[in-house]
Amino acid sequence: MAIETSQIKFAESEKTGELIGFVSRHSKTKKLKGVRENSTFGKKICVLSGDLKGTIIPNILYDVELKAMHRGNGYVVVSARPRQFKARIEKVTVPKAIYRLKVTFGNKTVYFDPKHGKSDSSRTLEGVLDILASRVDIEEPDSVLAEFKEEGIALIKQMEADGFLVPKSNKNQRK
């Protein structure tokens, strides 16, 4: 049997508790494409092989290799690697108004906004660094973390120079 490739996000099955994904065959290219469970296209289930169980993180995009089931009613995932995306760091500042760093990778965006952040994880440099460190879908994560920390410290210094009081949790990050 031939091995096919695709990209899939896995989710927990409500019936069995196992991680599953779904694919649909594109009508023109005949390639398998990952789809959501509620997709209206004809789809087939993808289950994990025994050696992959316990190694997959739900809701992360994976590059997978699939082997058709014997009766043709689905696929077995024989290999899965998290899809990694190049991260871009963008600084947005308007003196005395906006101080924000934005990291984008794939279709995800993570913000560091010490002035207007809505949660501790977006208001503090440590919170954003923890989020970025936990992601498995960032290409070259060590260099991204180092660059983000450097940019974050510079942003905090710029805020202080503009006369804003910076939360203590951010001041501790400059060491």
Q: What tens digit of pLDDT does each residue of 113-133 get?
A: 998 888 878 889 999 999 999
- Distance CA(27)–CA(33), nearest Å, equals 11
Q: Do 73 and 95 belong to one domain?
A: no
Q: What tens digit of pLDDT does each residue of 33-53 get?
A: 999 888 888 899 999 999 999
9 has pLDDT over 60: yes
Strands (E) in the chain, as ranges, are: 3-9, 11-12, 19-25, 32-35, 44-48, 61-68, 74-82, 88-94, 98-105, 108-112
Q: Which two tokens stand for residue 47?
A: 């289950």
173 has pLDDT over 60: no
171 has pLDDT over 60: no
Instruction: Identify the domain containing residue 99 by its residue range.
Output: 88-174
Q: Of 49, 82, 115, which marks where a domain is finished? A: 82
The residue to which tokens 């927990």 are assigned: 12
Q: Do 8 and 75 belong to one domain?
A: yes
**CA 163 remoteness from chain centre:** 35
Q: Do 28 and 48 belong to one domain?
A: yes
Q: Do 78 and 112 belong to one domain?
A: no
175 has pLDDT over 50: no
Q: pTM of the predicted model, to two decimals?
A: 0.77
Q: Do 100 and 164 belong to one domain?
A: yes
Q: Of 39, 54, 82, which marks where a domain is finished? A: 82
Q: Do 129 and 98 belong to one domain?
A: yes
Q: Of 15, 48, 82, which marks where a domain is finished? A: 82
- 174 pLDDT band, cuts 50/70/90, is very low
Please report, as a single letter, which amino acid is at residue 94.
V
CB 12 within 8 A of CB 38: no
Q: Do 92 and 169 belong to one domain?
A: yes
- Distance CA(24)–CA(17), nearest Å, equals 22
144 has pLDDT over 90: yes
- Choose between 16 and 9: higher pLDDT: 9
What SS3 class is residue 9?
strand
Share the mean pLDDT of the chain.
89
Q: Do 96 and 40 belong to one domain?
A: no
DSSP β-bridge partners for residue 62:
8, 82
Q: What tens digit of pLDDT does each residue of 84-108 get?
A: 999 999 999 988 888 999 999 998 9
- What average pLDDT does this structure show over 68-92? 93
CB 2 within 8 A of CB 31: no
Q: Sign (positive/negative) of CA torsion 105, 99, 166, 118?
A: negative
